[in-house]
Amino acid sequence: MRKKTKKIYVGNIAIGGNSPVTIQSMTNTPTQDAKKTVEQILQLENEGCELVRVAVSNQFDLAAIKTIKKNIHIPLIVDIQYDHKLAIESIKAGADCLRINPGNIGDDECVKKIVKTAKEYHISMRIGSNSGSLSKKFLEKYQKVCSDAIVESAIEQIHLLESMEYYEMKLSLKSSSVPMTMECYEKISKLCDYPLHLGITEAGPGIDGIIKSSIGIGGLLSQGIGDTIRVSLTDAPIEEVKVGKKILKSLDLYHSGINLISCPTCSRTKIDLIEIVNKAYSKLEKIDASLTIAIMGCPVNGPGEAREADYGIAGENGKGIIFKKGHIIRRVDEDKLLDGLLEEIEKGL
């Protein structure tokens, strides 16, 4: 059962409470190049990204915020490091949310100025504590980077903002270590009810990053912890969104698009299942309907084990069957299996 957290808003998107878990990503274009940044955000939107973050590091980046905001359709989060003035001006330029680390944004007076502006413009903030930005105080206390140090750092930041009567915040506590990240979120979820932004920082490229993120994010979500996610990959941002959707879908937290299931193949497999699955994957991912599709190598797995699938195919000695909810509806040659499956799906849409 998902833990109920405080509901806040990032633009028009609710985070926490009973709201769905949202997917976000971050652009990797130069923010000051508004045209390229908008193009990338629109691609992310089309893939299902619900929130997007851009870094603002200087006045040139800041100058692009109004144009970016005007030309996109999802809430814009602005990531600020070190410079509280950029944070304030980003709010005024149209940011829906700030991502700051109160520990590196300046003294308490600088934080107060940011909070004052955030209140005036009714925007939320994400505050972050991670293994790479712990202050000297916590490193000396714990003598190492650990989950307790990261959590205590986050609690200190929470108390600072609460002392200024600011409560519209979500939290992130990240590490490149999956176990440490999970420990951080498990501990903080027992200490406060602010919404939690999940992710494994610096997860890496390709399958390594996907596995780390899937275990870390998925493991926490399966415990009911987490309100919004970003899959951090050394890859195009659109891949982060694709993986994020798959993680949520595997936990029944995302209800759009195809859930493709297929068997791992064995000696009973009498068709070229791997080739069929690869072809099917590219065709099926274009369908928005929430369906479970099974592609199985033999009748034992489908429609037997895969009887709960909405549609499916199974091979048998160069031929195959097409089934729907466990019932065989057609028998065709192997080379007609995929086309036949797609025809049946189209009929049902």
Q: How confident is the model at residue 132 (pLDDT cuts 50, 70, 90)?
A: confident
Q: Of 225, 250, 275, which residue sits at a domain end? A: 250
Q: Measured between alpha carbons, how far is residue 196 from residues 50, 240, 262, 316 in Å?
A: 16, 18, 33, 48
Q: How confident is the model at residue 223 (pLDDT cuts 50, 70, 90)?
A: very high
Kindly state whether residues 43 and 182 are assigned to the same domain: yes
Kindly state whether residues 161 and 194 are assigned to the same domain: yes
Q: How confident is the model at residue 341 (pLDDT cuts 50, 70, 90)?
A: very high
pLDDT of residue 59 exceeding 80: yes
User: What is the arithmetic mean of pLDDT over 314-330?
Assistant: 87
Is 2 among the domain residues?
A: no
Kindly state whether residues 102 and 74 are assigned to the same domain: yes
Kindly state whether residues 230 and 290 are assigned to the same domain: no
Q: Of 210, 230, 250, which residue sits at a domain end? A: 250
Is 221 among the domain residues?
A: yes
The pLDDT of residue 1 is 78
CATH code of the domain covering residue 153: 3.20.20.20
Q: What is the pLDDT of residues 239-271, one digit of tens each?
A: 999 999 999 999 999 988 888 989 888 888 878
CATH code of the domain covering residue 333: 3.30.413.10
User: What is the arithmetic mean of pLDDT over 3-22?
Assistant: 96
Residues constituting the chain: 349
pLDDT of residue 103 exceeding 80: no
User: What is the arithmetic mean of pLDDT over 41-60?
Assistant: 97
From CA 262, how far away is CA 295, in angstroms rounded?
Answer: 5
| 55 Cβ contact list (under 8 Å, min separation 6) | 26, 27, 31, 61, 78, 79, 81
Beta strands in the chain, from DSSP E residues, in sequence order:
8-10, 13-15, 22-26, 51-55, 76-79, 97-100, 124-130, 169-174, 197-198, 228-229, 258-262, 291-296, 311-316, 319-324, 327-333
pLDDT of residue 136 exceeding 90: no
Kindly state whether residues 235 and 312 are assigned to the same domain: no
Q: What is the pLDDT of residues 13-22, one digit of tens each?
A: 999 999 999 9
Contact 151/173 with Cβ under 8 angstroms?
A: yes
Q: What is the pLDDT of residues 325-339, one digit of tens each?
A: 988 999 998 889 999
The pLDDT of residue 102 is 80
* Tally of domains within the chain: 2
Kindly state whether residues 187 and 294 are assigned to the same domain: no
The share of the chain scoring above pLDDT 90, in percent, equals 68
Q: What is the pLDDT of residues 163-196, one digit of tens each?
A: 999 999 999 998 889 999 999 999 999 999 999 9
The pLDDT of residue 266 is 85
The pLDDT of residue 237 is 97
Kindly state whether residues 81 and 210 are assigned to the same domain: yes
Instruction: Report the alpha-carbon angle 225-230-236, nearest 5.
Output: 160
Is 158 among the domain residues?
A: yes
SS3 26: strand
The pLDDT of residue 344 is 92
Question: Could you tell me which residue, 94 or 263, shows the higher pLDDT?
Answer: 94
Q: Which residue matches tokens 């602005």? A: 78
Range of the domain at 272: 258-348
User: What is the arithmetic mean of pLDDT over 65-91?
Assistant: 97
Is 137 among the domain residues?
A: yes
Kindly state whether residues 67 and 184 are assigned to the same domain: yes
The pLDDT of residue 26 is 98
The pLDDT of residue 349 is 82
The pLDDT of residue 41 is 99
Residue 293 in tokens: 């599709």
Kindly state whether residues 181 and 39 are assigned to the same domain: yes
Q: Which of 44, 38, 9 is CA-nearest to residue 228?
A: 9
What mean pLDDT is reported for the chain? 92
The pLDDT of residue 319 is 82
Question: Could you tell me which residue, 205 or 6, shows the higher pLDDT?
Answer: 6
Kindly state whether residues 144 and 287 are assigned to the same domain: no
User: What is the arithmetic mean of pLDDT over 151-170?
Assistant: 95
The pLDDT of residue 281 is 87
Q: How confident is the model at residue 130 (pLDDT cuts 50, 70, 90)?
A: confident
pLDDT of residue 302 exceeding 80: no
Kindly state whether residues 68 and 206 are assigned to the same domain: yes
Kindly state whether residues 192 and 300 are assigned to the same domain: no
pLDDT of residue 79 exceeding 80: yes
Is 123 among the domain residues?
A: yes
Q: Which of 211, 338, 216 is CA-nearest to residue 283?
A: 338
Q: Of 188, 218, 250, which residue sits at a domain end? A: 250
| 253 Cβ contact list (under 8 Å, min separation 6) | 20, 21, 221
